[in-house]
């Protein structure tokens, strides 16, 4: 696939190094169906080794919200239900979030209205969340007859807001308001809806202006540290990255951080 061939995604390099990705099923509140599953995995996979795109902005194209979750009519492989097929499908749902963390570009998620189920997981797997005052988040999984942890939510939410509050939202399936999202540290900026893209672009431009290798290695180090065994492993990653950056600066003709006295 190429970016122009996607039907469920709008993909455009809106400025040099800044890619805008829209969940393009507005009539279904951006809900994830099987075609979007294929296309979003293809897109995230293609970005993993893309050296030109520095920052990704992810948004919803529906007027009423960011993403309503999984399309139960088109997002589940029926009537072909078999255990191997369902395992493959469930694995691919998780790969969306895994790919989002593995791709080196920081992802800024722009959220208005509802981010439910899969939409909430897309937001959590992003690196930065910019939300509107009407944004609301819902771990809908426990409300629809399945376990309350799905698509990486049991990994991301406790790390983003703390385990104590994550338990509450995941076990009750209740809505998190924009005010709660800000107070709990889930989102970094909350603006009026008409200001969302300006706020996201401000962040994207700031990041895109940085050394691209530094940007990529910072994301890698943060994500590694979130899941590593302890301080020693985190320091090993930081040390490796800083040595690589110093050598990179020397090779590019820039003054190294440390000068010989």
Confidence of residue 88 (pLDDT cuts 50, 70, 90): confident
Q: How many CB atoms lie within 10 A of CB 81?
A: 10
- Segment 171-195, tens digit of pLDDT: 898 999 999 999 999 999 999 999 9
Give the number of other Cβ atoms within 10 Å of residue 250's Cβ.
12
Determine the pLDDT at residue 261.
39
Q: How confident is the model over 245-252, as a mean pLDDT? A: 75
**Using CA atoms, how far apart are residues 174 and 96, in angstroms rounded to an integer?**
24
d(CA 16, CA 201): 12
State percent of the chain over pLDDT 70. 92
User: Mean per-residue pLDDT for 68-94?
Assistant: 81
pLDDT recorded at residue 260: 46
Contacts of 236 (CB under 8 A, 6+ apart): none
DSSP state of 146: S
Distance (Å, whole) CA 219 – CA 101: 8
Handedness of CA 132, 181, 98, 68 (dihedral sign): negative
**DSSP code at position 255:** P
Q: Three-state SS for 6?
A: coil
Where would I find the beta strands (DSSP E) of 95-211?
A: 107-111, 114-116, 128-132, 136-138, 175-177, 189-191
DSSP state of 113: B
Higher pLDDT, 7 or 238: 7
DSSP code string of 158-188 = HHHH-HHHHHHHHHH-PEEEHHHHHHTTS-S
Q: What's the residue count for the chain?
A: 261
pLDDT of residue 245: 76
Element (H, E) at 59: strand 55-60
Tell me the per-residue pLDDT of 114-161, one tens digit each, with 9 for 90 and over: 999 999 999 999 999 999 999 999 987 777 766 667 788 888 999 999
Measured CA to CA, the distance from residue 73 to residue 67 in angstroms comes to 15
Q: Would you say 47 and 57 are in contact if contact means Cβ atoms under 8 Å apart?
A: no
Measured distance CA(119)–CA(148) in Å, rounded: 14
Query: Exposed (0-12), middle (13-18) or buried (19+): which is 118, by Cβ within 10 Å?
Result: buried
Strands 136-138 and 175-177 come out as: antiparallel
> What pLDDT was estimated at residue 64?
93
Stretch 217-235: mean pLDDT, rounded? 82
Q: Give one word for 110, left, alpha or beta, with left for phi > 0 and alpha for psi -120 to 50.
A: beta
The residue written with tokens 């939202």 in the block is: 169
14-24 pLDDT per residue, tens? 999 999 999 99
Quickly count: other Cβ atoms within 10 Å of residue 43's Cβ: 20
Q: At 12, is the secondary structure helix, strand, or coil?
A: strand
**The tokens of 134 are what?**
């009407």
The per-residue pLDDT for 224 is 86
Q: What is the pLDDT of residue 118?
A: 92
Q: Is the pLDDT of residue 40 over 60?
A: yes
- pLDDT value at position 255? 61
Nearest residue to 223 via CA among 89, 114, 90, 124: 124
């Amino acid at each position: 696939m190429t970016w122009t061939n996607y039907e469920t995604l709008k993909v455009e390099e809106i400025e040099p190094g800044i890619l805008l990705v829209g969940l393009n099923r507005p009539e279904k509140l951006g809900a994830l169906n099987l075609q979007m599953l294929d296309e979003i995995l293809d897109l995230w996979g293609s970005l993993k080794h893309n050296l030109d795109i520095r920052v990704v902005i992810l948004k919803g194209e529906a007027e009423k919200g960011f993403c309503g979750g999984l399309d139960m009519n088109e997002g589940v492989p029926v009537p072909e239900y078999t255990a191997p097929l369902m395992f493959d499908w469930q694995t691919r749902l998780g790969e969306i979030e895994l790919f989002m963390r593995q791709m080196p570009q920081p992802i800024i998620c722009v959220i208005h209205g509802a981010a439910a189920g899969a939409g909430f997981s897309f937001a959590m797997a992003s690196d930065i969340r910019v939300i509107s005052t009407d944004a609301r988040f819902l771990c809908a999984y426990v409300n629809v007859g399945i376990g309350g942890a799905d698509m990486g939510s049991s990994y991301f939410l406790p790390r983003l807001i703390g385990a104590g509050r994550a338990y509450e939202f995941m076990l009750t399936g209740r809505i998190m308001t924009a005010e709660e999202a800000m107070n709990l540290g889930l989102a970094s900026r909350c603006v009026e809806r008409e200001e969302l893209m300006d706020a996201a672009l401000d962040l994207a431009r700031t990041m895109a202006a940085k050394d691209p290798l530094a940007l990529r290695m910072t994301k890698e180090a943060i994500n590694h540290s979130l899941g590593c065994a302890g301080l020693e492993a985190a320091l090993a990653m930081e040390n490796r990255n800083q040595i690589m950056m110093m050598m990179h600066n020397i090779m590019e003709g820039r003054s190294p951080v440390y000068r010989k006295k």
